[in-house]
């Protein structure tokens, strides 16, 4: 967990100011950081679990960068398998994006590699771009502070969410996919190509773990196709949640990162007044509330006001369509922290069919208005039997890229023809949501948008570096069966 007190922010501010008097070369050298892919052991409900992780030079999970600090990182792989790390939410040179063999090779055991690029401010994260590795929790927060973060009189807390199974990822994927998962998901030829499964027969699921709820137009909507053993908040369950000390009458910024493989959550701030102030690292006009939805790969910045009288205040992540929950507790000095059950009394509602939140978001800094050079539609489809998920009826390796030239504006319409939602993530770019259903909006700027069953979301993106950029569903079982295409940008 990354938590910075107000004193910590002041110290960071002083350090940043002091660094400005150094020569540029000295600043660059002093700011270089180390990151290690390694194993670690968690206690999950009294049972030891060996997982993977990304730790800094002090053994802490993740990285925090000061305002203006470059992403100058030396990554070392101490695992026994080759892997590769994607800097989710950053816009690095394509060669450093972190996708196997596109164009960078995987990082071999014992190998180190240097990364250097301008960091994009906000709440981001980093994770393996191999589904099985991400399901082993090879992920961590990547927080890049803005000057206003340092100046703000508020405490910074990160809430990093995972779904977890004691079973090996290959076994979990095999149970979900019926063996359809591509071994390693190395982004090469997938061998599943060309099958169009946009018309789904949901009468016989075969998984046994599906959660079906009424969706749009009264049709059956499928939310959860696997029951994980635990749902973790900063590597802990509600049996032993993290308790973060906060000030009476203070402000807290909770940076929520959904690093789960296949779980959508509601973030419930309970008794505290909340304001959603950023999504995917990009500021939005404050949206008040006490419950906000978050899909896989997405981030939410929620500002909270702690009452002057103090107390203990759970901030919970509720699994949609089910009773499970996880979270942490914000507590003022001396407050009594009571036991919190890890199951609610009733199933939580679906977020995946609800575009109300997305439609209400407004970017603080929207993209400049301009005409689009092209308006491609991507049909999102799939089936449970066989378990295959597609874009325009195709899986990776048989896909048709979305094309553009550098600098062109492209509007991509995601039209979901399946009964599961799909969090669609684009590498190397930030896009703006400009359409929800049939309505035109000036929505949030983000990098991952959740497309509901039988729903439509349109995003505008300005094509960046001439290269092949991945565009895929961030539901790991969907990705592992080929639900990926590319944004192919030419000069």
**pLDDT cut 90: percent of the chain above it:** 82
Q: How far apart are CA 157 and CA 255, in angstroms?
A: 6
Is residue 164 over pLDDT 60?
A: yes
Is residue 189 over pLDDT 80?
A: no
What's the maximum distance between 2 C-alpha atoms anywhere in the chain?
A: 67
Q: Which residue has the tokens 């190397």?
A: 428
Is residue 480 over pLDDT 50?
A: yes
Predicted pLDDT of residue 4: 47
Is residue 12 over pLDDT 50?
A: no
Q: How far apart are CA 482 and CA 472, in angstroms?
A: 9
CATH superfamily of the 180-192+361-490 domain: Cupredoxins -  blue copper proteins (2.60.40.420)
Predicted pLDDT of residue 336: 96
Predicted pLDDT of residue 34: 98
With b meaning 16 or more CB within 10 Å and e meaning fewer, what string describes 334-370?
A: ebeeeebebeeeebbebbbbbbebbbbbbbeebbeee
Residue ranges per structural domain of the chain: 3-153, 180-192+361-490
Q: What pLDDT digit, counting tens, does each position of 42-95 carry?
A: 999 999 999 999 999 999 999 999 999 999 999 999 999 999 999 999 999 999
Q: Strand 63-65 relative to strand 139-144: parallel, antiparallel, unpaired? A: parallel
Is residue 474 over pLDDT 60?
A: yes
365-370: long-range pairs with CB below 8 Å, 24+: 365/282, 365/283, 365/445, 366/432, 366/442, 366/445, 367/432, 367/445, 367/460, 367/462, 370/409
Nearest 5°: the CA angle 15, 234, 167 is: 140
Q: What pLDDT digit, counting tens, does each position of 409-440 carry?
A: 999 999 999 999 999 999 999 999 999 999 99
One fold for both 3-153 and 180-192+361-490?
yes
Mean pLDDT of the chain: 89
The pLDDT-based confidence of 177 (bands split at 50, 70, 90) is confident
Mean pLDDT for the stretch of residues 10-23: 38
Predicted pLDDT of residue 220: 61
Predicted pLDDT of residue 181: 56
Is residue 279 over pLDDT 50?
A: yes
What CATH class has 3-153?
A: mainly beta
Mean pLDDT for the stretch of residues 110-118: 98
Q: Which range, of 114-123, 221-230, 338-347, averages the lowest pLDDT?
A: 221-230
Is residue 202 over pLDDT 90?
A: no
CB neighbours of residue 436 within 10 Å = 21
Give me the torsion for CA of 408, 409, 410, 411, rounded to 10°. -170
Task: Give the residue with greater pLDDT, 29 vs 463.
Answer: 463
Q: What pLDDT digit, counting tens, does each position of 340-397 carry?
A: 999 999 999 999 999 999 999 999 999 999 999 999 999 999 988 889 999 999 999 9
Q: Strand 85-88 relative to strand 122-128: parallel, antiparallel, unpaired? A: antiparallel
């Amino acid at each position: 967990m990354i938590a910075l007190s107000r004193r910590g922010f002041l110290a960071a501010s002083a350090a940043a100011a002091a660094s400005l008097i150094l020569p540029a070369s000295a600043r660059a050298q002093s700011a270089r950081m180390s990151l290690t892919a390694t194993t670690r052991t968690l206690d999950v409900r009294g049972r030891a679990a060996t997982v993977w992780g990304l730790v800094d030079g002090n053994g802490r999970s993740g990285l925090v960068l000061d305002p203006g600090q470059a992403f100058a990182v030396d990554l070392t792989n101490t695992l026994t398998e080759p892997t590769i790390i994607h800097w989710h939410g950053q816009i690095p040179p394509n060669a450093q994006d972190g996708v196997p063999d596109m164009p960078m090779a995987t990082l071999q055991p014992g190998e180190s590699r240097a990364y250097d690029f301008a960091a994009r401010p906000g709440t981001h994260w980093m994770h393996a771009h191999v589904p099985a590795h991400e399901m082993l929790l090879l992920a961590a927060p990547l927080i890049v502070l803005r000057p206003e973060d340092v100046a703000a009189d508020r405490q910074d807390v990160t809430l990093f969410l995972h779904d977890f199974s004691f079973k090996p990822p290959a076994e979990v994927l095999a149970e979900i996919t019926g063996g359809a998962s591509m071994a390693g998901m190395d982004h090469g030829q997938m061998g599943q190509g060309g099958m169009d499964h946009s018309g789904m027969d949901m009468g016989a699921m075969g998984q046994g773990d599906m959660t079906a709820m009424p969706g749009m137009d009264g049709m059956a909507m499928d939310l959860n196709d696997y029951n994980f053993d635990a749902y973790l908040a900063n590597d802990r369950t509600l049996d032993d949640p993290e308790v973060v000390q906060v000030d009476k009458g203070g402000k807290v910024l909770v940076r929520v990162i959904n690093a789960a493989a296949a779980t959508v959550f509601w973030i419930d701030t309970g008794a505290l007044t909340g304001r959603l102030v950023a999504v995917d690292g990009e500021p939005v006009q404050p949206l008040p509330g006490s419950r906000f939805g978050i899909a896989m790969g997405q981030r939410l910045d929620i500002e909270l006001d702690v009452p002057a009288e103090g107390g203990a205040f759970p901030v919970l992540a509720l699994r949609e369509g089910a009773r499970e929950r996880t979270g942490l507790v914000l507590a003022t000095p001396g407050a009594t922290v009571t036991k919190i059950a890890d199951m609610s009394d009733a199933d939580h509602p679906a977020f995946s069919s609800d575009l109300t939140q997305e439609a209400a978001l407004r970017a603080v800094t929207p993209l400049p208005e301009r005409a689009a050079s092209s308006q491609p539609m991507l049909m999102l489809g799939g089936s449970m039997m066989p378990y295959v998920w597609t874009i325009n009826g195709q899986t990776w390796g048989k896909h048709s890229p979305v094309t553009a030239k550098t600098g062109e504006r492209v509007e991509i319409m995601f039209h979901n023809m399946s009964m599961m939602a799909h969090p669609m993530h684009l590498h190397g770019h930030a896009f703006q949501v400009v359409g929800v259903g049939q309505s035109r909006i000036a929505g949030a700027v983000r990098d991952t948008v959740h497309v509901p069953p039988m729903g439509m979301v349109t995003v505008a993106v300005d094509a960046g570096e001439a290269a092949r950029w991945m565009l895929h569903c961030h539901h790991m079982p969907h990705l592992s069966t080929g639900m990926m295409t590319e944004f192919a940008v030419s000069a």
